[in-house]
Amino acid sequence: MAIGYKQVTLITGASSGIGFALVFELLKRNHLVLASMRKPDRAQASFEAHPSYPLFKDNLRLCKLDVTTDSCEKTIARLVKEYGVPDIVINNAGLGVYGPFEELTDQEFRSQFETNFFGALRVARAVLPGMRKEGHGKLINVSSILGQLAIPTGSAYTASKWAMEAWSEALRYEVAPFGVSVTLIEPGLIRTQFKKNMVIARAIEPAYAFLHKLVGRNYDRVATSPEACARRIAKVILRSKPATRYRVGYDAHFYYLLRQILPDRFLDLLIRSYTGKPGG
């Protein structure tokens, strides 16, 4: 049985990275955490190996949930029946599909949107009726600074995040009268297994070899730790009236600032210089 928890929080994509760090950050804050993922059996050992696990395991539930399937809403309905309507829902499940547009297939685009966009929609549909009825709730959608800025090789990923941003803003207006808030989190680079798990377009056009070099670059020196990101999100959750969006990481703040102060022409030149040229 859970021990005196104060809020129920559902996190998607909790097996690693930001989601995993969020689990323990919120357990420390006395939440009952429903940590959902596609393969909880495979992740069990990672949770048990965490130093804080023995202290908080009574308030942790590992749940099998695949946000890309039609059964997602039924699974959440069962969780709601067992644990009640979550006070907080964090749409964190994500996938990265990268490569030059001409080398990306329609199926790769669909796969990108199924996880990053439609997955979040399915989760929201499952929890919003209960939140509206109870007159409170917080929906936290983990987007990216790339929901504000597009980069070469990121046409699929950035499109999915821009879609999440627009949907979240519209939804925020619709559910606010019911006491439900919708907030976007826009991390920059985070030191996770995200890059290792990326889907990269098959190189079929030699002319785009210079773009494939971009995908292979290492940017860890400017990346933020998942623990720091989790702490930022936890602070957002504490706010009684969270804002529309919050950026996480120095790079996210820097890129956003450039977007605000530089004319499009100068920003375009900056990104082109970073991209390089064929044969370069």
- In a 3-state reduction of DSSP, which class is residue 137? strand
- What is the rounded distance in angstroms from the CA atom of residue 95 to the CA atom of residue 199? 8
The one catalytic residue among 157, 208, 246, 255: 157
Q: Are 155 and 104 a contacting pair, CB within 8 Å?
A: yes
Which residues does residue 9 pair with via DSSP β-bridges, in sequence order?
A: 33, 88
The one catalytic residue among 15, 143, 160, 181: 143
Distance, first Cα to last Cα, the chain: 60
3-state helix, strand, coil split of the chain in percent (to 5) is: 55, 15, 30
- What is the rounded distance in angstroms from the CA atom of residue 69 to the CA atom of residue 122? 9
- In a 3-state reduction of DSSP, which class is residue 244? coil
111 tagged catalytic: no
143 tagged catalytic: yes
The one catalytic residue among 160, 161, 181, 208: 161
52: which 2 tokens?
């804080």
- What is the rounded distance in angstroms from the CA atom of residue 211 to the CA atom of residue 94? 23
Q: How many CA atoms does the CB half-sphere of 202 hold within 13 Å? A: 4
Q: Are 111 and 67 a contacting pair, CB within 8 Å?
A: no
219 tagged catalytic: no
- What is the rounded distance in angstroms from the CA atom of residue 202 to the CA atom of residue 97? 11
DSSP 222: G
- What is the rounded distance in angstroms from the CA atom of residue 183 to the CA atom of residue 241? 10
Active site amino acids:
143, 157, 161
